Copies of this chain bind each other. A is one copy, B any other.
Amino acid sequence: MATLHTVPARKGLALRVRKGQHYKVINTHGYQIVDHWAFNAEDYRECMSMEHCHVAIDKLMPVVGDTMVTNKRRPIITLMADTSPGIHDTMVAACDIYRYQQLGAVGHHDNCTDNLANALKAIGVSIQPHETPAPFNIFQNTQYHPGKGIAYLPTVSKKGDYVTLRAEMDAIVAFSCCPQDMIPVNSGKPTSAEVELE
């Protein structure tokens, strides 16, 4: 029996999954980036690590069949299906209050770094800001052109596109609907997304 969980617009969500369990990250409204993290359920200090994943998957952008690994180089999640054009990002940090301040925000601005901490806190796990792992930025369309800078483009994923992931260990999986509205990565209008747990 599948259960559907909403990641609210601009906010985060953390869920516990069992080894072997599948979950779908659904771009419900389209054009929304979902920052994703995964942690060993028994020890949050073991977490999915993009810099270790690059070596493990032998590329910078995972494709169906690739298994992401932790900072102990152990399998934690596998990309089982992807109905989007397959454009995701593994190279840039989650947004944080400092990023928005640099872009000119004054006062509070929702951000994926705080969303992760709050989502984990809601299920009883406490991490410090410096322990935030680099995220797997699902649906994020960031293009790297040597000599020409980085282009932060609108996603190419459409309404209803999804990726299916399988947990390779008992894990805490966390998601943030990126609240970036100061550059056009979410097409200017951050929305909610859904996670369907098998």
Contact = CB atoms under 8 A, between A and B. Distances in A.
Interface in A63-94: 71-74, 91-93
A130 interface: yes
A92 B54 contact: yes
A131 B131 contact: yes
A51 B50 contact: yes
Please classify how large the interface on chain A is, using the bins under 10, 10 to 19, 20 to 34, 35 or more.
20 to 34
A47 interface: yes
A172 to B, nearest CB: 14
A125 B144 CA distance: 36
* Number of chain copies forming the complex: 2
A71 B102 contact: no
Contacts of A98: 72-74
A134 interface: yes
Nearest to A99: B73
A51 B93 contact: yes
A140 interface: no
B59 A144 contact: yes
19 contacts: A45-B128, A49-B93, A51-B91, A51-B92, A51-B93, A51-B134, A54-B91, A54-B150, A55-B92, A58-B149, A59-B144, A71-B93, A71-B129, A71-B130, A73-B99, A73-B102, A91-B91, A130-B131, A131-B131
Interface of A: 45-47, 49-52, 54-55, 58-60, 71-74, 91-93, 96, 98-99, 102, 128-132, 134, 144, 146, 149-150
